Chains A and B, each alone.
Chain A
Amino acid sequence: MPSSLRVVLAEDSVLLREGLIGLLARFGHEVAAAVGDAEALREAVAAHAPDIVVTDVRMPPGFQDEGLRAAVALRAARPELPVLVLSQYVQRSYATELLDSGDGTGVGYLLKDRIGQVEEFLDALTRVAAGGTVVDPEVVRQLLRRRRDPLAALTPREREVLGLVAEGHSNGAIARRLVVTEAAVGKHIGNILGKLDLPPAEDTHRRVLAVLTYLRA
């Protein structure tokens, strides 16, 4: 993954668009195109072949979820295209729909508030561009309160670990956060995958499936 990303940006608010261009440029990323609606987003992606697409959910012409629809459509055409969706809503439905697109890797669903946490935002951007899966901690926190099948089988600690996986953290990052060894995290994840009935396969894939199970629960 290049340290400098070619970004196609879709955001209808001029103020925010200019701010994001400045922010990304300042940290060495190249904004190949910045557009204001979903149709222009599709054209810009076709024209520029970016490393990552960053898009707002609500955009013209309908000001509903055009941005999200465009992101899902783009990933249907190119499942490996990394997409980071910025949303003004803590909404499971949006996150689930996005994660369902493609194979669930290289997608992110972040609250717009997160742009203000500049380093967190850039970190999420690079992780998604590298094929990671990132769900906003706020969405994850809300879901953590739910105690329902198929997560009923998980211990509180396993749920905590799964929450951090959903936010898109690596085993190392989770270990640091929980102040345990990376091996312990690996063991927890193994248990989670077992309890969620996700048979062994390629590792990152199963992680995404676990996150999806988690979001749908």
Chain B
Amino acid sequence: MDVRTPWQALTRPLAYPRSVWPWRSAGYLASGAVTGAAALAVLLVLAMFSLLLVGLPLLLFAGVALGGIERRRLRIAETTPAADPHRVPDTPGLAAWLRIRVREQATWRELAYAVLHATVLWPLDLIVLAVCLGLPAALLGAPLRLALDGQETKVVKAYLVTSYPEAFAASLLGAVLLVALLYPVAALAGARAAMARALLAPRETELTDRIGEVTRSRARLVDAFEAERRRIERDLHDGAQQRLVALTMTLGLARLDAPPGSPLGDQLAKAHDEAGQVLTELRELIHGIHPQVLADFGLGAALADAADRSAVPVDADIELPRLPTAVESAGYFAVCEALANIGKHSGATKARLTARYASGSLTLLVQDDGRGGADPAGGSGLTGLADRIAVLDGTLTISSPPGGPTLIRVEIPCPPPSA
């Protein structure tokens, strides 16, 4: 077993005294006595200032600062680092920092720890160290003291030693005591560390917040991807497409000028038709990258248009308000992919699309009368879409028993529309 705490070290009592853990435990308690004494001094000063109110925010600072120090000091006793429970302020500056700290439970736990540490814990640390290490050390040093003091010496201020046999007996007792008392040292250090961790390390809910932060950063990535998509669409639309339109116009005019039935006229007609086809293909391509109707009229209209375009006739039942851009986009591409799959693989003769927004959730249902057997794990485009939907905390479920029918359900939670 990998020993990570003093308590775990105690579970192997024979190995414990020879291990590094007695040293770590003692070091933790000793440094605790130092920080505790310092904290007491600071708190006393701040408490005086608090009478004038200016000390209150400073008290908060002190708690947070001590929390930071104590989390680092925890590494002496335990090998697992304690994470910082605080959130990073969105905006720089002291005011933002204070605002966010005041609202965090962790800040107040740190303050509680600071008060506890400064008043009760550090004297306890000191007493235990004195009894468990100081007392045996004094006994151990009895022969030396006798040698230094001459005829007699008092050990531990109480016991008079007058001869070397007595002194060595005391020394032996000290050695035995030292080993025996190393155990309570680890026990107390373990208890102190566990308590510090409980008060200073992030709670479950604070970890959940952190996961929320990670999700938000993933959402930002998706947003960036979406923005890039739109940029490509814009470039194609404003560049290549306009030039092609101008080209077909020029070719169209040239055709009017060319003598009908002449070789030149035929060539021009061919070029004109070719350019027209390229234009059609480009239009489809641009639409696939990002349909303008999605931005202009929203998901409802975009879905109606997607239903129009579908190779398999779609019975569309759509009732949607405007929703956040990311949600509209993810929902749209999910339905498009589903409809494309129906057209390619299902053998269905008709499909049904239902789109609703109710109680904070967008629900999209795509159902067909095809042969079923769709495998979401089969590397289909739906897997990628499921990932995108998952970023928005949504789900994509597929029910497709062999023989059909296939039902695809997309649910994305989102705030109600502002309008």
Contact = CB atoms under 8 A, between A and B. Distances in A.
Interface of A: 13, 15-16, 19-20, 23, 26, 57-58, 63-65, 68, 88-94, 111-113, 115-119, 142-143, 145-148
A63 to B, nearest CB: 7
B256 interface: yes
B304 A113 contact: no
Given A26-B253, A88-B286, A92-B304, A64 B295 contact: yes
A116 B295 contact: no
A58 B305 contact: no
Interface string B232-254: 00100110011101101111110
B297 A93 contact: yes
B241 A145 contact: no
Nearest to A94: B293
A115 B234 contact: no
Nearest to A146: B308
A125 to B, nearest CB: 14
B313 A91 contact: no
Interface stretch (B108-116, B177-185, B274-282): B274-282
A153 B272 CA distance: 40
B272 A147 contact: no
B308 A142 contact: yes
Closest 9 CB pairs of A and B: A116-B248, A13-B242, A118-B252, A93-B301, A65-B296, A116-B252, A93-B297, A15-B246, A112-B245
B73 to A, nearest CB: 57
State the main secondary structure of chain B at its contact with A.
helix
Interface string B19-34: 0000000000000000
Point out which of A23, A65, A116, A147 has the most chain B C-beta atoms below 10 A from its C-beta. Answer: A116
Contacts of B270: none
Contact of A117 (B242, B252, B296, B301): B252
Contacts of A57: 292
A23 B242 contact: no
A118 B238 CA distance: 22
A88 B249 contact: no
Nearest to A56: B242
Nearest to B308: A142
B369 interface: no
Contacts of A148: 315
Interface string B154-174: 000000000000000000000
A146 B313 contact: yes
A202 to B, nearest CB: 31
Contacts of A20: 249
Interface string B59-77: 0000000000000000000
